[in-house]
A and B are shown apart, each in its own frame.
Chain A
């Protein structure tokens, strides 16, 4: 496999297509091809050449979804018509007239680096003819974790299933952190399900690498319900612990089948955290008062005891509750790391995690469309109030939705 047929193609094009160009010009259908071939001829620009090479590898089949940020197509490899890929075409936007959007850059930058079974794979990147960026992503046909959580009528799952999912999520996050990438937008929406049932971490539009010391990061990341207290206090320096909190929230949501801490505003979110876990104080979180937005609340709530967690989340067993609590520790330095998360005793205790192929799943057209929905979203879209609105409308769980909208 030294040289693939694809590599040869443009060279062939140079030899064979050029003489035929004059003839083909009269055929409008082939026009495009002639143009591109001509470009290779005249421009001989190496980057353009390579780009075309990649572009010609794929064929778009149909549109899966369209958003303000991107359009998602289902496509396949020309060589193998049975393969399926998702092609995410990022729109050239008003705000980024001079270049491409930050989230697109982030997504490409990190997906290119990270290769792990629990992280969505990016096969290729190319630019289309009007300079739109196209990311060729792994196509994950079974929707996302949110669909499974919400469908409490149709989908039943147990501790073993939760364990399997959480382990996969944990591995994905662990791999990001080991490669010094913060995902910063972990939520069930962004956990897509592959054809074999595996969970894949997607949407790296808000990701960044671990910052250098004294380098300020933005606090305005992670969808509010999954945002840790240090970000709500607007910390400018943080680490992998922010993702671990989100993992804990997803864990709790998997058990409850309803978002665990669903605040309607940032203040309300902090309030919810205080109620559910306890108020951050200098005792349980040394240095918390130094954070920019820390306000000492007049009524200090004590840290919740393990018993109350056991009451809510007891179905996953004592070990599970222990692990959940360790991801939801207020002080980010005492919160478990992704690695410690995977080293917990819960994983080896009974019941054994469900095998991937036996995990409950939801197939059909709806799941496929959902993937289109998920991929077209723009990272961090949910952060402003408009975005929050959107989420609340999308999720429907009885009385809470009224409150949120």
Chain B
């Protein structure tokens, strides 16, 4: 029945494959599918057949056991697309690492590609059982990290929302502030003008001088107003955004050694949650030059370099015979740590 699959055009009606009722007669009919088999049927059929518990799919030749609560209204006209979306959502729920979990972009991209292949296999029906089993095992083994990743994503979304809220709040506050300031300034100007007029009326002093005085008073006031107002502006809006920092999330190492689940390469190791006690600063940064294969004597008998320390021009310039002796020792023994076999490999 090819017409049933088509989008319901203007004059085409869709018929429920189960009860054969048509949208022509009942334009408000709702079609639902079950992700088990994606057979379309009308809402009333779903109610009728599955209300009393799981039952086999009524479409001829299918017979898969379906449950009512899994039925849903398809988002897409094309059920193949619907199905792929469902698979994607399901896989993404289990394999939910973000780029930050990987030590390089390369490994992340590799992971994404591998995931895509998995999804395509599931969609096209290659190896489905194998993949499903592995997915299930993986989900079981990595429950913790999957949950943590999901939580982290949630946190991020919350954070974006929160930031937006704070931004709006701040802009509203600053607008109100600007408005208030403007009003105040207007009022002050008005008052100042009145004062000038009064002065001119009351005293018979020089008009220009009075005007100038009033102007300077206004300016002073404006300057005084500006300072506290900026301080005000920054206060009070510091709420929220700063303290919403997200605690370091655990990524969870995926069991690479386990043969059953997946192995995802390139994941960062989990950072221990407990804050490490800072060690005493090591100016050598952990490096030391301990020679494994020889040790230096206190003193060497080597007349030429021993004499140097008392030689004119050598000693006073900072030349040390000891440096030469140490170097000679190192040069002589430098090859001791090298194993030809290892180098070849």
On A, residues with C-beta under 8 Å from B are 2, 82, 116-117, 167, 170-171, 174-175, 178, 180, 209-214, 230, 235-242, 285-288, 290-292, 331-333, 335, 342-344, 347-348, 352-353
Contact = CB atoms under 8 A, between A and B. Distances in A.
Nearest to A213: B308
B281 A347 contact: yes
A190 to B, nearest CB: 20
Nearest to B315: A287
Contact of A240 (B283, B307, B316, B323): B323
A117 B285 CA distance: 10
11 contacts: A117-B285, A230-B317, A236-B317, A237-B308, A237-B311, A239-B318, A239-B319, A291-B317, A332-B318, A343-B283, A344-B283
Contacts of B307: 213
B280 A348 contact: yes
A201 B291 CA distance: 24
Interface in B271-285: 278, 280-285
Nearest to A346: B283
Interface in B304-323: 304-305, 307-308, 311-321, 323
B308 A290 contact: no
Contacts of B235: none
Contacts of A287: 312, 315-316
Nearest to A353: B281
Contacts of B340: none
Nearest to B321: A213
Interface of B: 105, 278, 280-285, 287, 289, 304-305, 307-308, 311-321, 323-324, 326-327, 330, 345
Given A210-B327, A213-B308, A348 B281 contact: yes
Given A171-B284, A174-B284, A242-B318, A180 B313 contact: no
Contact of B319 (A2, A237, A286, A331): A237
A212 B328 CA distance: 9
A335 B317 CA distance: 12
Contact of A235 (B278, B304, B317, B324): B317
A355 to B, nearest CB: 10
A8 B247 CA distance: 47
Which of A116, A178, A292 gathers most chain B CB within 10 Å?
A178
A295 B237 CA distance: 69
A238 B318 contact: yes
Contacts of B314: 213-214, 237
B313 A352 contact: no
Contacts of B280: 348
A230 B324 CA distance: 19
Given A167-B283, A174-B284, A236-B313, A241 B318 contact: yes
A290 B305 contact: no
Given A178-B289, A180-B323, A286 B316 contact: yes
B324 A212 contact: yes
A212 B313 CA distance: 14
A213 B308 CA distance: 7
A158 B311 CA distance: 44
A116 B278 CA distance: 24
B318 A230 contact: yes
B304 to A, nearest CB: 6
Contacts of B330: 180
Contact of B308 (A170, A214, A236, A331): A214
A380 to B, nearest CB: 19
Given A212-B324, A214-B308, A237-B313, A333 B289 contact: no
Given A342-B284, A352-B278, A213 B324 contact: yes
B323 A332 contact: no
A213 B310 CA distance: 12
A347 B281 CA distance: 7
A241 B317 CA distance: 9
Given A180-B330, A210-B324, A213-B308, A290 B316 contact: yes
B318 A213 contact: no
Tell which of B105, B281, B313, B317 has the most Cβ of chain A within 10 Å: B317
A171 B283 contact: yes
Nearest to A177: B323
Nearest to A80: B106
B317 A332 contact: yes
Contacts of B305: 213
A291 B313 contact: yes
Given A230-B318, A348-B280, 15 more contacts: A167-B281, A167-B285, A211-B319, A214-B304, A214-B314, A237-B319, A238-B317, A239-B317, A241-B318, A332-B316, A333-B318, A347-B281, A348-B281, A348-B283, A352-B278
A235 B284 contact: no
A353 B330 CA distance: 33
B316 A288 contact: yes
Contacts of B319: 211, 213, 235, 237-239
B283 A239 contact: no
A338 to B, nearest CB: 11
A167 to B, nearest CB: 5
B318 A171 contact: no
Contacts of B318: 230, 235, 237-242, 331-333, 335
A75 to B, nearest CB: 19
Contacts of B282: 347
A214 B307 CA distance: 10
Nearest to B302: A213
B316 A285 contact: yes
A352 B281 CA distance: 7
A347 B312 CA distance: 37
Nearest to B308: A213
Contact of A180 (B105, B304, B317, B327): B327
B303 to A, nearest CB: 10
A239 B313 contact: no
B174 to A, nearest CB: 28
Given A180-B323, A180-B330, A213-B305, A235 B313 contact: yes
A175 B280 CA distance: 21
Contacts of A239: 317-320, 323
Nearest to B310: A287
B301 to A, nearest CB: 14
Nearest to B280: A348
B181 to A, nearest CB: 32
A358 to B, nearest CB: 14
Contacts of B287: 116, 171, 175
